[in-house]
Amino acid sequence: MRNAHAVATVRKAESALMARLPEGALMQRAAAGLAAACSRVLRRTYGARVVLLVGSGDNGGDALYAGTLLARRGASVRAVLVGSRVHEGGAAALRSAGGRTVAAPREAESVGDSEAAAEIAAADLLVDGLVGIGGSGGLREPHSAVAALAGAAEAPTVAVDLPSGIDADTGTVDGPAVRADVTVTFGTHKPGLFVDPGAGHAGVVEFVDIGLGPELPGPSLECLQAEDVARLLPHPTAESDKYRRGVLGMAVGSDRYRGAAVLAVGGAMRTGVGMVRYAGAEGVVTEVLNRWPETVASTLDPMDPLGSLPGRVAAWVVGPGRGLHPMAQAELEAVLATPQPVLADADAVTVVSKKPELVRERSAHTLLTPHAGELARLLPDTERADVEGDRLSSVARAADEYGCTVLLKGSTTVVAEPGHPAVANPTGSPLLATAGTGDVLAGVIGAFLAAGLAPREAAAAGAYVHGLAARIAHDGAAISASDLFDALPLALAEIG
Ligand SMILES: NC(=O)C1=CN([C@@H]2O[C@H](COP(=O)(O)OP(=O)(O)OC[C@H]3O[C@@H](n4cnc5c(N)ncnc54)[C@H](O)[C@@H]3O)[C@@H](O)[C@H]2O)[C@@H](O)CC1
Ligand SMILES: [K+]
């Protein structure tokens, strides 16, 4: 598990720890870890040209002390000083180790022709110490111009604590920001490193332990790793039968959207569900049985559709491709009236946004799985762009407002549940931004719910497995939703 804490929490823990340690000890620990990571990226430190981008705070101080260590190992180190002040101790240490400092012009328009620009262009490695957790808002000038030069340079970039220009708490990026190949983060991860667009700027995230652990409370965000998912996955035993592995009720797809039913049922089947009890219109039942003959399918009686919904299920998946007509709404209400956990996706989310009490007043578990547009509909005065800009706060707000578990799909899938840390999924990929992949995800998570996983864990594990399956299915060419079927068992096997 990778844990992340909000900046205010990090600050508090750091001051508690600093009070017990000699002055500067934490910065030295951070700099040692940072220098080691830089050496790994460089492979050969001796003779390498390392350019530090140094802002006026302690983030720049970390870069300067790490640069000092690299200079002592034979690197040629230049520090580009950006801003009105510099960490004096760090600058002095660098100079005494043979490094040089170069002031960046104060005016953004002069940055391009400056000595600093020439150094950045000729570097073998850039170290981004412009701003860390002390940053607020988008990068100001001339930091922004320097970040743009770094982006245009060929050298790999190692970011100090977090890439400058991303919001540490939310991952929001407002204007130009550094794109790092490696981010070396200290003490704990910062939430913005796990959530897009920030996560997309961080590259490979390396953690340096500076001894903060004992001072930290529980995390505000978790990022599951393969071993965490392995612990969550249901493992069939000798005593397992189809009932113990879980029976999933599925009210998905319609005459108009038959594929949604085939995809969602397939997602559940290939995740190892014990049994799917499917209910739908006659034409869809035929399609589902053609593709997945192991489904126990029943045709809804047009005279009494609610009466013909299957009973004896451990969990429900409702909504994908089901439509918004009054019968689909009545069906959703009937399913939500059962005591089983319910995953409401797609059209079912739209119905819930019009009738929030359906979920708010429910005592059994509900999991909503909106994309950004659907989440915007769930929240008052919220546009899709607001959700995309701050995925973490948006999903947490929806979970609180509806008193249920919410999984926000998209560039970083995030799961929120009241009273628990949010979970960010690390396996997401643009490969999944195609029609029908959400239907498969509903089936995958439904299989986990039916096997008895709690909604937060089922959602997080489902997102992880689904993302991994997309990566496995991708062999250089584009993939479509049905390519996930064969990749799901491979992803499950890889996780173990
Ligand atoms: N506090 C601690 O115990 C430790 C802190 N460490 C480092 O210290 C960093 C935090 O240092 P600081 O609190 O000095 O803050 P930072 O160095 O992150 O940033 C503060 C400086 O950036 C400027 N700034 C803020 N927003 C800006 C923007 N949008 N555009 C341009 N300039 C902006 C401020 O005017 C200020 O000069 C951490 O990220 C980490 O790298 C590490 O050395 C480990 C120990
Ligand atoms: K930084």
Going from the Cα of 397 to the center of ligand 1, the distance in angstroms, rounded, reads: 29
Residue nearest to atom 41 of ligand 1 (CA): 59
For the chain, the C-alpha Rg in angstroms (whole number) is 26
113 marked as binding residue = no
Q: How far apart are CA 460 and CA 462, in angstroms?
A: 5
pTM of structure: 0.95
411 marked as binding residue = yes
Residue nearest to atom 11 of ligand 1 (CA): 58
Ligand 1 atom showing the smallest separation from residue 187 Cα: 44
pLDDT, block means (10 residues), the chain with 496 residues: 98 97 96 98 97 98 98 98 96 98 96 97 98 97 97 98 97 95 98 96 98 97 97 82 86 96 98 96 97 97 89 96 95 96 98 97 97 97 94 97 97 96 94 92 98 97 97 88 96 96
Looking at the CA of 27, which ligand is closest?
1
Residues 6+ apart with CB under 8 A from 68: 31, 77, 90, 93, 94, 96, 97, 99
Question: What one-letter code names the amino acid at 136?
Answer: S
Residue nearest to atom 15 of ligand 1 (CA): 134
Ligand 1 atom showing the smallest separation from residue 11 Cα: 1
- The residues spanned by each domain of the chain are 2-223, 226-495
Looking at the CA of 190, which ligand is closest?
1
* Chosen CATH of 2-223 out of 3.40.50.10260, 3.40.50.2300, 3.40.640.10, 3.30.70.100: 3.40.50.10260
413 marked as binding residue = yes
Q: Which residues line ligand 1 (CB under 6 A)?
A: 14, 18, 26-27, 30, 55-60, 62, 83, 131-137, 139-140, 143, 160-161, 186, 210
In this prediction, the answer to ipTM > 0.90 reads: yes
pLDDT score at 245: 82
pLDDT score at 472: 95
Alpha-carbon 155 to chain mean position? 27
3-class SS letters over 262-327: HHHHHHHHHCCCCEEEEEECHHHHHHHHHHCCCCEEEECCCCCCHHHCCCCCCEEEECCCCCCCHH
Superfamily (CATH H level) for 226-495: Ribokinase (3.40.1190.20)
Ligand 1 atom showing the smallest separation from residue 31 Cα: 43
Burial of 354: CB neighbours in 10 Å, binned 0-12, 13-18, 19+: exposed
pLDDT score at 305: 86
Q: How far apart are CA 225 and CA 1, in angstroms?
A: 6
Q: How far apart are CA 412 and CA 390, in angstroms?
A: 11
Going from the Cα of 135 to the center of ligand 2, the distance in angstroms, rounded, reads: 9
Q: Which of 197, 183, 117 is nearest to 149 (CA)?
A: 117
3-class SS letters over 102-123: EECCCCHHHHCCCHHHHHHHHC
Structure tokens at 91: 């600058």
DSSP 46: T
138 marked as binding residue = yes
Of 7, 21, 69, 133, best ligand 1 pocket probe by most atoms within 8 Å of the beta carbon? 133
Determine if residue 173 is left, alpha or beta; phi over 0 gives left, psi from -120 to 50 gives alpha, anything else beta: beta
Going from the Cα of 323 to the center of ligand 2, the distance in angstroms, rounded, reads: 47
Residue nearest to atom 9 of ligand 1 (CA): 59
120 marked as binding residue = no
Judge whether 167 and 47 are in contact, CB under 8 Å: no
128 marked as binding residue = yes
Tens of pLDDT along 356-392? Answer: 999 999 999 999 999 999 999 999 999 999 999 899 9
Q: Are the folds of 2-223 and 226-495 the same?
A: no
**Which helix (H) or strand (E) covers residue 89, if one does?**
helix 88-96
Judge whether 439 and 481 are in contact, CB under 8 Å: yes
Tell me the C-alpha to C-alpha distance, in Å, between residue 218 and each of 2, 188, 471: 12, 11, 31
Residue nearest to atom 27 of ligand 1 (CA): 135
